[in-house]
Structure 1
């Protein structure tokens, strides 16, 4: 569990969900983790949920790691520049950057074409999913390219193959915001290659995030009760699953073979021999295509 000892990580947007779990697993494996976000114990973002960046750091500590919470709005260049200066002053390096910035789910109106969807909400989603990631890259990547071995992980929703076709029922701004991660990873990988650094995009599967569990009125301990309402939830995975995958990827000295690719949690689990917290190995995106997308009855047999 010390394979990342001495490494410095930043999980941008680490307040909840997959990014929170990634911060915990990086800390568990020895990295010192900076966790940024907009929601603290004294101030909530527009997402208006109870999870805070301090809570995430407490979970890192409970896992045996070390970390620090820094309130940052990554759409504000001055705040991101100050974050980079702080990491430089305190640690003098950055080895792992996980960009999980988002917070736009509540802005999405399902099944509305772009001309019917709220224009301010559409533009806000693009700002959250694209602009914030570019601003973060601008100020943090100079710390990473100082030494070879750096890893950038751009979090997204859906594999590159799955997102190659527009998702029926989604909205154009959401689609643009999430598919942007594929191209961010391709571009960053190319620009950072000569410095010995690697960039990838990464998607979890059907994630049992805090918000998703709340939506189905279940908890992590009884999540299967949600199958009555949504049978396809049988392929779902805990946030720890993708967190374990990122920790393994960060510790892999040969990770450059994935540069510019979009990876997924099930793929990393197979690559590194990992399982979810229940001992299973969900293969969500194959299931999405072969079962859900094909209109077959929900049955995760052979997919976890």
Structure 2
């Protein structure tokens, strides 16, 4: 598990969920990881959850890795500029940039058409899902293109095929903010191609994040109790599974073949032969398309 030894990584928005697990698994594989976010110590973001960037670094160290927490609001260009200057001064380059910035769940308002959804909440989601990612790319990509083989990962929610249609029951601003990762990857792939870099969008499946477990009132140990309320949760996956797949992608010497694409954890797990912590291999988005969206009874047979 030392395929990334000597690599320098930044996981932006690495406070919790998929981003936290990606930071841990990159570090477990040998990378030095900068973990940024807005919730640090006594400072909390609008998300209002207890996880902190220091907590992510604690998990990194428990996994035998190395990293550092840096409190950064990625909507503030000067804070992101200072972050880039620090990484440049300390390492002179950035090998892996994972942009998992979000924090907009408190603004969702599921099911409201755009004219009924609070405008301030809609604009906040756009800012978090698009502006923050653009600001981060502006200041950090110059470090990624300093050497060939760099990797940029834009986290999203849903495959490109899934997001090609509007999701019933969602909100317009959330849909736009998350779907933006696909053109981000296409554009970043084109602009970094001559530097030998890879840029992709990436989506977990139905992830058992801290917030999702709390939503169902379960823990990782008894998560199957949630199936009584939501049977299709049977296809869910741990954040660790997500992190393992991204770490494998980062270590792939031929990852350039994916540049400009949207990848998902199930696809990468199959490619790299990666299992979840329980030994299963969930293929979430294939399940969603072939079982859940087809109105079939919940049954993960053949999908994990």
Q: TM-score, normalised by structure 1?
A: 0.99
User: Cα offset for 1:10?
Assistant: 0.0
The residue number in structure 2 matching 1:37 is: 37
CA RMSD after TM alignment: 0.5
Q: Distance in 1 between matches of 2:201 and 2:25?
A: 18
Aligned to 1:212: 212
Question: Which secondary structure state, in structure 2, belongs to the residue aligned with residue 97 of structure 1?
Answer: strand
Structure 1 position 229, deviation (Å): 1.0
Q: Does 1:67 align with 2:67?
A: yes
Question: For residue 26 of structure 2, what is the aligned residue in structure 1?
Answer: 26
More displaced 10-residue stretch of structure 1: 205-214 or 294-303: 294-303
Separation (CA, whole Å) in 2 of partners of 1:146 and 1:26: 20
1:255 corresponds in structure 2 to: 255
State the Cα distance separating 1:93 from its structure 2 match: 1.1
Cα distance in 2 between the residues matched to 1:91 and 1:225:
46
How far 1:88 moved relative to its partner? 0.6
Map of 1:1-304 to 2, 5 A cutoff?
A: 1-304=1-304
Q: In 2, distance between residues paired with 1:151 and 1:79?
A: 22
- How far residue 289 of structure 1 moved from its aligned partner, in angstroms, is 1.1
CA distance in structure 1 between the aligned counterparts of 2:121 and 2:25, rounded to whole angstroms: 33
Q: Deviation per CA, 1:228-267, whole angstroms, max 9, x where unpaired?
A: 1111100000001110011100000000000000000000
- The DSSP-based 3-state class of the residue aligned with 2:74 is coil
- Deviation at residue 105 of structure 1 after TM alignment: 1.0
Local SS of the residue matching 1:4: coil
Counterparts of 1:258 and 1:168, CA distance in 2? 29
Runs of at least 5 residues in structure 2 that lack an aligned partner in the other structure: none
Offset of 1:290 from its aligned partner? 1.1
Distance in 2 separating the partners of 1:274 and 1:13: 24
